[in-house]
A and B are shown apart, each in its own frame.
Chain A
């Protein structure tokens, strides 16, 4: 089973709201990722967690705050977003560490609209 789940599927929020995106995997993967994808563009890496520690932050604005409560769960907390933050937010996971392949498996995404 290579399933990564994401909730909610759609989210509409105002610029003053606080919301969270959730990602879950039960494949025993130890690396988890957040990506942002605009229409007709490839995904852009935002954060990488490796063994529940933040290992990569691609200079993402502080209005995006990641959290990895345990090895199966990854959250993205959103606060004071801008309309240009509207996008598809994808979560992915991989085995992590120095394992051949380290293939990333993606969730279905959360479609975020900021009004």
Chain B
């Protein structure tokens, strides 16, 4: 069965430091991959997605992610953390022939002033 794992349920970074949130998927067929962000008491907002083509994907708010098929990874990065980046981040995968999105368990990002 397809699954998505996120290393680290909680990550803390200093303001201005690099943000790295890890995501790995297990699938014999590379799925479509997504990163969503959720601020407290809000819905999920799409940060970026990988479908086909370029493996380095740029998203909103300065985030980007790189799809590495050999490592079955889709890690999310941002060069410089901002206080407003503090939120819950979910990595997700979608099988191309099925409508069901598989979510990772989530990573809570804290930004320390």
Query: Which positions in A face B, CB cutoff 8 Å?
Result: 2, 4, 6, 31, 33, 40-43, 45, 48, 50, 55-56, 88, 90, 92, 94, 96, 98, 100-109, 111
CA distance A33 to B98 in the complex (A): 13
Q: A105 and B46: CB pair below 8 A?
A: yes
Given contacts A50-B99, A56-B99, contact A42 B105 (CB under 8 A): yes
- Does residue B43 face the partner (Cβ distance < 8 Å to A)? yes
CA distance A104 to B103 in the complex (A): 12
Tally A-B pairs: CB < 8 A.
60
**In the assembled complex, which residues on chain B have CB atoms less than 8 Å from the CB atom of A31?**
99
Q: Which of B89-113 contact A (CB under 8 A)?
A: 90, 94, 97, 99-101, 103-106, 108
* B interface, over-half SS: strand
Q: List 24 A-B contacts (CB under 8 A).
A: A2-B46, A4-B43, A40-B88, A40-B106, A40-B108, A42-B105, A43-B90, A55-B99, A90-B44, A92-B44, A100-B52, A101-B32, A101-B49, A101-B51, A102-B94, A102-B99, A103-B34, A103-B49, A104-B94, A104-B101, A105-B46, A106-B36, A106-B45, A109-B42
Most chain B CB inside 10 Å of its own CB: which residue of A90, A101, A109: A101
Q: A103 and B99: CB pair below 8 A?
A: no
Given contacts A55-B99, A101-B32, contact A107 B43 (CB under 8 A): yes
- Does residue B61 face the partner (Cβ distance < 8 Å to A)? no
For the complex formed, measure the closest distance between the CB of A45 and the CB atoms of chain B, giving whole angstroms.
6
CA distance A106 to B34 in the complex (A): 13
**In the assembled complex, which residues on chain A have CB atoms less than 8 Å from the CB atom of B52?**
100
Q: Give the interface size class of chain B.
A: 20 to 34
Contact of A41 among B49, B97, B100, B106 (CB under 8 A): B106
CA distance A41 to B45 in the complex (A): 16
CA distance A62 to B83 in the complex (A): 43
Q: B99 and A90: CB pair below 8 A?
A: no
- Does residue B70 face the partner (Cβ distance < 8 Å to A)? no
